[in-house]
Chains A and B, each alone.
Chain A
């Protein structure tokens, strides 16, 4: 115990060769620039970052243990609260893991609904991620408000469908919970038709902006080999130039039916991460257009799946999807009872955060906030 406590103490910092003393700054847990309650212990030599230690766990809610003591269904609403920006993709990942575990088939209509809701989630997540990134750059308000204006429209559609704007709790093992409301698909079509205009507007506002380029190009570079070794996934990894998208690798759901491209970055800096998010949102719109064209009629739930008394046979399964922030996986072990023996979440936010120090070393302290913002994390998922 004593040794464990000792390892938490920050190491003694020696003055650098010139005789200057290093300055230790605790950024967070309540810092205006951090997304949630997250602390960065930064050692500074002047403005330069010499060392950075991320400290998290302030938002720990015992998610995994709660899920192990509750029934399979009761864990579903808790998954909404992991990455509370993208509750529908969280639902999908968990449902996918349980469906793998119990061998449940999903009807075609439900698969289409899942793809539509997931891609809408991706668009709104990337839009708000860009907005928050600009907020941290000092463009307080405008880009974020434009992003939220668009996000609001998508959340209204989610509310119409699922009853809740953020805590959707919509997917079930073997399908979706409720049938689409009347005219919902029409409204989604109208919205999707308007989305390219919004992205054009965002790009006109930001892409060519000299301040944005000066602040982001060449800052916070993540090398592809480090990204792969650290297990970084999602837009972070693709901005580093590694072609890895689970929608293409696994073809989970019905993603093999849609034509879309995976945008890749060259430099792995913040600007690439910004561009990747814009381009991915555009590809999501392409997927949405294709998916909305042919939503089949039919049931939305597998008739064999049960709401109550769900007991999958003993075994284990790992279900993963390409969540907007990266690979979101659920690992489940069943011992044949009504609750999972082991329930483990592989959160993209947490694992993408492990390379934070490598990206920040040698950068200015003002850029630490930007680099942190470009990772696009949600603390609800980091701490669980």
Chain B
């Protein structure tokens, strides 16, 4: 019969239409600004800089090694190294970024900066409501705007952050044990020889 296929199709549409009133499975949309779907843990959009402690600028993990700047595919990261040094999480004196800018209008959220960072200093945020009326200055984030606490990192990516923390704690313990051994060796040496020399601590992540 001509039109049978069409009637069959219309029945399917009617089933879906009526079903959307009763079945949650068929009603797949949400009213966005008022209703939101639960965030997915692995979501990424733009990078941020992790800091430990309370002071964002003092606790930045970044040591301005510029690997991410070099590896970034669209080259949206700009880093200026500092001239002085500050202690990092194991207490070793390190250079820090005097400037760390990311142009998020250029960033393509590929996560390669996160993958290549040996210091667990840069991670991906999940904040997506970033629209601004100033498309040049408003989308060029400096290090103050980019820094987020480790607690924030734990909140958005709990599994990943726990792994990172475990890894860092292990490194710190290793570095401390090494420093202790070096100090003991130095003390033993000092007892034997007049000129003590401190063994260099192992770089974290190397």
- Partner of B8 from the list A76, A204, A211, A308 (CB cut-off 8 Å) is A204
Contact residue among A146, A156, A163 (Cβ-Cβ distance under 8 Å from B124): A163
Q: Does B13 contact A (CB under 8 A)?
A: yes
The answer to whether A156 and B40 have CB atoms under 8 Å apart is yes
B110-148 toward A: CB 8 Å interface, digit per residue (1/0)? 111001100000001000000000000000000000000
Q: Which residues of A contact B112 (CB under 8 A)?
A: 73-74, 76-77, 169
Are B5 and A209 touching (Cβ within 8 A)? yes
B residues in contact with A307, CB < 8 Å: 115-116
Q: Name the A residues within 8 Å of B111 (CB-CB).
A: 163, 169
* Interface pair A210/B6, CB less than 8 Å apart: yes
Interface residues of A in 147-168 (CB under 8 A from B): 149, 152, 156, 159-164, 167
**B67 close to chain A: CB less than 8 A:** yes
B28: shortest Cβ distance to chain A, in Å? 5
The reply on B91 being an interface residue by CB < 8 A is no
- How many residues of chain A have a CB within 8 Å of chain B? 40
* A contact patch SS: helix
Cβ B6 vs Cβ A308 within 8 A? no
B84 interface residue, CB < 8 Å from A? no
A142 & B13 in contact (Cβ 8 Å cutoff): yes
A255 to B89, CA, bound (A): 48
Stretch at the interface among B41-49, B54-62, B95-103: B41-49
- Shortest C-beta distance, A301 to chain B (Å), equals 11
Give which listed residue, B2, B9, B42, B110, contacts A205 with CB less than 8 A.
Answer: B9
User: CB within 8 A of B42: which of A161, A210, A213?
Assistant: A161
Distance (whole angstroms) from the CB of A365 to the closest CB of chain B = 25
Give CA–CA (A77, B3) in the complex, Å.
Answer: 48
B71 contacts chain A at the CB level, 8 A cutoff: yes
A77-B73 in contact given A201-B12, A208-B5, A209-B5 (Cβ < 8 Å): yes
Contact pattern, B 21-65, Cβ under 8 Å of A = 1, otherwise 0: 000000010000000000011111000000000000000000000
Q: Are the C-beta atoms of B40 and A159 separated by less than 8 Å?
A: yes
Q: A80, A160, A205: which has the most chain B beta carbons within 10 Å?
A: A205
Q: Mark A346-382, 1 if CB is under 8 A from B, else 0.
A: 0000000000000000000000000000000000000
Q: Are A204 and B12 in contact (CB under 8 A)?
A: yes
Known: A74-B71, A152-B28, A169-B111. A206 touches B9 (CB 8 A): yes
Q: Which positions in B face A, CB cutoff 8 Å? A: 2-6, 8-9, 11-13, 16, 28, 40-44, 67, 71-73, 108-112, 115-116, 124, 159
A74-B71, A77-B73, A161-B42 are known; give 9 further A-B pairs, CB within 8 A: A73-B112, A74-B112, A80-B110, A160-B41, A164-B43, A182-B159, A201-B16, A205-B9, A209-B5
